[in-house]
Amino acid sequence: MTQDDLLARAQAWLAEDPDQETRDELAALLDRNATDELAARFSGTLQFGTAGLRGELGAGPMRMNRSVVIRAAAGLAAYLKAKGQTGGLVVVGYDARYKSVDFARDTAAVMTAAGLRAALLPRPLPTPVLAYAIRHLGAVAGVEVTASHNPPRDNGYKVYLGDGSQIVPPADAEIAAEIGAIRSLNDVPRASEGWEVLGDEVLEAYLERTDAVLTPGSPRTARTVYTAMHGVGKEVLTAAFGRAGFPPPALVAEQAEPDPAFPTVAFPNPEEPGAMDLAFEAARAVDPDLVIANDPDADRCAVAVPDADVEGGWRMLRGDEVGALLAAHLVHKGATGVFAESIVSSSLLGRIAEAA
């Protein structure tokens, strides 16, 4: 791309950008003739795939911003309509990251203007609540605005279809093709109203399901320390504990409330070195049976157990270890169904299922 082409592309993007913040950012780059930075933002586009979109916030097609999200929403709407889902419901959830609520509202506006029905979750809530809401409400698709456990300057866009699971091939490529077919943001209509903002009925239904995996009359005495890692998990987890009859978890106060800056951790991921330091500090003071941590959108759950042989006295369990414990619990209960494992999980689940 020549410098003239680069500047022309940036100017065209600037003319369409609906967000004053990113317009100002891009205008400043153009005023400085910051060609290296402009090239980094306009050398391509964020690629839509099975994980949806994820990237650093900022102006331009290689960043996460309202323009990119509006195009993604329009591509998803076109895909759904091509599949005969005209008029279907799309549920939209979001976490507490920078711009998440703006991206969620833009998605609802695009879906409504496209003739689909859109419903926003009432506030920042865990990603699993969105996945549950899709099936509970009979939606044809769902969107969760989140970058999961990425750094503070990132955001993302996860897409789910009507089965409540994230998209898989070939849906990802088909949606990406619809996004790529959008030539101008001015061609994407957006409604100013008309979508629904849900109340707490979906969250209530979600919480009602939490007792289903507990054996009636089983002990409810386990003491826990919990960290939400500056994310959105605290409300739902503490409510679930209360309904189940467990003692309230001791909260890591410094990380309990949503904060998109994630001020106490370099990466808000329980598996990152140092991320659990405050939780272990709290555990040494409280002496619980377990330490539980969520990532910021609360679709990742990490567990630590007491271990005198480990420095600090607590050992983090790997995800496949937690999965094996849960599977063994279900087998012990006599549960029937399917154990799902992925290419990143242990084959132990298969062996547990076979033995059962």
Same domain (yes/no): 222, 93? no
Give the end of a domain, one of 177, 199, 221: 199
Same domain (yes/no): 187, 208? no
Q: How far apart are CA 241 and CA 351, in angstroms?
A: 31
Res. 338 pLDDT band, cuts 50 70 90? low
**Cβ–Cβ contacts within 10 Å for residue 234, how many?**
23
Q: At what angle do helices 66-82 and 100-113 cross, to 10 degrees?
A: 40
Same domain (yes/no): 182, 97? yes
Q: Is residue 148 among the annotated active site residues?
A: yes
Average pLDDT over residues 213-225: 88
CATH number for position 153? 3.40.120.10
Examine the pLDDT at 343 and tell me if it is beyond 70.
no
Identified catalytic residue from 148, 165, 218, 345: 148
Same domain (yes/no): 288, 142? no
Closest-CA residue to 280 (of 264, 267, 261, 296): 264
Are residues 107 and 73 in contact, defined by beta-carbon separation less than 8 angstroms?
A: yes
The predicted-structure confidence for 279-327, as pLDDT tens digits, reads as follows 999 999 999 999 999 999 999 999 999 999 988 899 999 888 888 888 8
Same domain (yes/no): 223, 275? yes
Question: With DSSP H G I counted as helix, E B as strand and the rest as coil, what are the percentages for the chain, rounded to 5?
Answer: 40, 15, 45
Same domain (yes/no): 231, 216? yes
Query: How far is C-alpha 79 from the geometric centre of its chain's CA atoms?
Result: 21
Same domain (yes/no): 190, 221? no
Res. 171 pLDDT band, cuts 50 70 90? very high
Query: How far is C-alpha 13 from the geometric centre of its chain's CA atoms?
Result: 27
The range of the structural domain enclosing residue 279 comes to: 204-355
Burial profile 118-145: b = 16 or more Cβ within 10 angstroms, e = fewer = bbbbebbbbbbbbbbbbebbebbbbbbb
Does the reported pTM lie above 0.85?
yes
Number of domains in the chain: 2
The predicted-structure confidence for 100-158, as pLDDT tens digits, reads as follows 999 999 999 999 999 999 999 999 999 999 999 999 999 999 999 999 999 999 999 99
Same domain (yes/no): 52, 157? yes
Q: How far apart are CA 216 and CA 204, in angstroms?
A: 20
